[in-house]
Amino acid sequence: MTEMLLKYFREKERQVQSEKVYNTQCPYCSVQCQMQLIEQRSVTRKTYKTVGKDNPTSKGRLCVKGMNAHQHALHKDRITQPLVKIDGEFIPVSWKEALECIRENVTNIQKEDGYNAMSVYGSASITNEEAYLMGKFARVALKTKYIDYNGRLCMSSAASAASAVFGMDRGLTNSIEEIPYAETIVLAGTNIAECQPTIMHYFEQAKENGAFIVAVDPRETATTRMADLHIKIKPGTDAAFANGLLKVIIDNDWIDRSFIEEKSIGFEDVKEYVASLELEDISAQTDVPVKEIRRVALSLGEKETGMIFTARGVEQQTDGSMAVRNLLNILIATGKLGKPSCGYGAITGQSNGQGAREHGQKADQLPGYRSIENEEHRAHISNFWGIAEKDLPRKGASAFEMIEKVDQREITGMFLLCSNPVVSNPNARFVKQALQKLKFLVAVDLFKSETAQLADVILPTSSYLEDEGTMTNLEGRVTLREASKKVPGEARHDWEIICDVAKSLGKEEYFSFSSAEEVFNELREASRGGIADYYGMTYERLRKKQGILWPCPSLDHGGAARIFEDSFAHADGRAKMTVVPSEPVVKKEETCEKYPLYLTTGRVMAHYLTGVQTRKSSALTAREFESFLEIHPQTAQQYHIRNGELVRIESRRGGIVVRSKCTETIRQDTVFVPFHWDEKQNVNRLVAEDLDPNCRMPGFKVSAVKVAPYDINRQRNIK
């Protein structure tokens, strides 16, 4: 181009530039940072940038994922038309054809195999409105008991522990603003710096205020580096570690006797049990020096204020729910609940990790955190929905157990919305083989994920930029995600899709909504009087107040910042302590001569879950473009592994190949692999399918593996 032409275009670009602003919330983690996507148009091109918007939680901050989220939403691979698989190939069809295909197949399956042959697999990355509709869709439109969701693999341990101990399960028991004033903070199996980066600020402020911060993690992470003490625990032994803390606290009488007597039950049993334990044995079991156990106990026992936070490191274990309960035992014994800067936080994971577990998407649940096995709750909701109580199914099975039922051909059809179970469930190879046995699979997604590729029908959905609705963040704050961008092609919103399928099955009378707000208004009524009561919230109030913390039972209620100030949510008002054995009932997979190393799994800052979205983003992929094995240099040397080379990792269930990253930041007996990659890098091919008996959480954080260098030329292991 000549100089003159270039000048002309530059001038033109400058002249006709226009700007469009889309308000939204980040589609990724549970902080739900508010942001604006700014689209700048000129004659020659469109450019995008994302800026943070002030809000009570992240206060305008954004992390690298939020800043680049538009890259997947605007990606050319977005599905924009319904697809039906014909002779192994996806063919674009009209919505009418796709819905007719679904109607025919679902009707046939239910005729041949019964109502319960159809299953629904949902997600905590959808809005409250959609999560509510998923529950109603399964029970009313499909009349099946089989519905569960990806939150089972995420929040079920913490949720079941909080429900058992407090009678109520809300992410943070206190306002997030109280964190900076806590004198002791325990971060157990939570990597906030990489997984919820925009709330790190609260912990940094606590540190500036002189708090003693403890991080419990088998690896060094950006979070443990911020802590004053890093407990480099042996994977899977958090319950035993908590027993050690309880023992020291009780032996030294650092307990709050009046709190225990007035507000709890079960203390004497716990006291008796921990008295029978030896601190040296706990130290050997956890590989935590006695001195460190004493140091943490001293701080928790002596300081007036203190908070404990857990996430998946503690929870994704076959004893995850009990390990959390044991950490809660400490808060009860020391009276650190219901007071300023005294409380618990289960750091939720997905964008709507909290809300999506409250309104009926779980196998055993009805809206408002009601139970599907409670006669009163059943009568209330069936009456509200206008169906006979006898027609309301009973409880079904958990996410992974549904897949086992698919394998056994008890379930033959599945409606999957917003999840990629082939990559996110344990024993992934088994999961893929099982799903291939389905007579009919519908996947609602933005992309052709590894799971969607197995589907018979893929329905195109809208993204966070396009879909309006409420999301409940990690605090328990219900926020309204405004969305103003037009859907691409023929994509429809998840809530519309659920209603359209229900209508095609002849259930329009229960699913005739014309906006997300209408669905929310039904949800509010349905949740009224339940534990998670949203009745007092309206879109208008949520807008004005920038979100409301539940419970919010009436239109003049401001929401609850700190819960359990007067009493706990059980009928007797007391918190329940219970003995937690140091040895789990379902044993974690032990290492042996053949599989000598512990494998633990988790996340990196730049990628999100199964990576379907973040791997589409060039900015994020540039940061981390392939999976890796974090391994201690001495362990690497022992197995002839050099830094940066391909390694084959094998467990009893299969093998994957990833590149080594030698680092002294990890324990010598443990290796770490993130789970953001699929196919041959899918770490869940290695993970065992044992489940926590209380909440059916898989033990993602401990498997036994062996490692060896991988010779790419010979495609097999070399010695």
Q: Which residues here bind ligand MGD, judged by CB under 6 A?
A: 29, 123, 125-126, 150, 153-154, 188-191, 194-196, 216-219, 221, 233, 235-236, 238, 311-314, 316, 349-350, 417-421, 423-424, 444-447, 449, 461, 494, 600-603, 605, 607-610, 612-613, 675, 683-684, 687, 700-701
Q: Which does 216 bind (CB under 5 to 8 A by kind): Mo ion, ligand MGD, ligand SF4, none?
A: ligand MGD
Q: How many CB atoms lie within 10 A of CB 243?
A: 28
Q: How many CB atoms lie within 10 A of CB 228?
A: 14
Residue 510 CB, nearest distance to ligand MGD (Å)?
21
Q: Which does 31 bind (CB under 5 to 8 A by kind): ligand SF4, Mo ion, ligand MGD, none?
A: ligand SF4
Residue 528 CB, nearest distance to ligand MGD (Å)?
27
CA–CA separation, 442 vs 120, rounded Å? 10
Q: How many CB atoms lie within 10 A of CB 42?
A: 16
Residue 476 CB, nearest distance to ligand MGD (Å)?
16
Q: Which does 26 bind (CB under 5 to 8 A by kind): ligand MGD, Mo ion, ligand SF4, none?
A: ligand SF4
> What is the pattern of x (binds Mo ion, CB under 5 A) and - over residues 294-333?
----------------------------------------
SS3 for 479?
Answer: strand
CA–CA separation, 75 vs 446, rounded Å? 10
Residue 191 CB, nearest distance to ligand SF4 (Å)?
12
- Residues in Cβ contact with 145 at an 8 Å cutoff, skipping those fewer than 6 apart: 116, 138, 139, 363, 393, 394, 395, 396
What tokens does 35 get? 């942001």
What angle, rounded to 10 degrees, do the helices at 95-113 and 494-504 form? 60
What tokens does 624 get? 């981390």
What tokens does 608 get? 């999100």
* Size of the residue set binding ligand SF4 (CB under 6 A): 14
Q: Which does 354 bind (CB under 5 to 8 A by kind): Mo ion, ligand MGD, ligand SF4, none?
A: none
Q: Which does 173 bind (CB under 5 to 8 A by kind): ligand SF4, Mo ion, ligand MGD, none?
A: none
Residue 171 CB, nearest distance to ligand MGD (Å)?
12
Return the DSSP state at 447: S
Measuring CA to CA, which residue among 194, 192, 189 is closest to residue 216?
A: 189
CA diameter of the chain: 87
Residue 313 CB, nearest distance to ligand MGD (Å)?
2
Residue 620 CB, nearest distance to Mo ion (Å)?
18
Residue 336 CB, nearest distance to ligand MGD (Å)?
19
* Size of the residue set binding Mo ion (CB under 5 A): 2
Residue 275 CB, nearest distance to ligand SF4 (Å)?
43
Nearer to ligand SF4 by C-beta: 66 or 530?
A: 66
CA–CA separation, 194 vs 57, rounded Å? 17
Enumerate the β-bridge partners of residue 371: 365
Beta strands at 229-231 and 212-216: parallel, antiparallel or unpaired = parallel
Measuring CA to CA, which residue among 216, 302, 295, 221 is closest to residue 255?
A: 302
Residue 349 binding Mo ion, by CB under 5 A: yes
Q: Which does 327 bind (CB under 5 to 8 A by kind): Mo ion, ligand SF4, ligand MGD, none?
A: none
Residue nearest to ligand SF4 (CB): 66
* Near ligand SF4 in 305-334, by CB under 6 A: none
Nearer to ligand SF4 by C-beta: 475 or 689?
A: 475
* Near ligand SF4 in 189-248, by CB under 6 A: 196-198
Residue 179 CB, nearest distance to ligand MGD (Å)?
16
Residue 164 CB, nearest distance to ligand MGD (Å)?
20
**212: alpha, beta or left, given left = phi > 0 and alpha = psi -120 to 50?**
beta
277-295 exposure pattern, b = at least 16 Cβ within 10 A, e = fewer: bebeebbebbbbeeebbbb
CA–CA separation, 406 vs 400, rounded Å? 10
Nearer to ligand MGD by C-beta: 350 or 382?
A: 350
Contact 43, 13 (CB under 8 A): yes
Nearer to ligand SF4 by C-beta: 55 or 237?
A: 55
Q: Count of alpha carbons within 13 Å of 667, Cβ hemisphere only?
A: 20
Contact 717, 640 (CB under 8 A): no
Residue 219 CB, nearest distance to ligand MGD (Å)?
4
> What is the pattern of x (binds ligand SF4, CB under 6 A) and - over residues 10-49?
----------------x-xx-xxx----------------
Nearer to ligand MGD by C-beta: 299 or 350?
A: 350
Beta strands at 365-366 and 370-371: parallel, antiparallel or unpaired = antiparallel
What tokens does 661 get? 């990253």
What letter represents residue 532's amino acid? A
Contact 131, 359 (CB under 8 A): yes
Enumerate the β-bridge partners of residue 659: 628, 646
> What is the pattern of x (binds ligand SF4, CB under 6 A) and - over residues 49-68?
---------x---xx-xx--
Nearer to ligand SF4 by C-beta: 457 or 480?
A: 480
Residues making contact with Mo ion (CB under 5 A):
154, 349
Binding site for ligand SF4 (CB under 6 A): 26, 28-29, 31-33, 58, 62-63, 65-66, 196-198
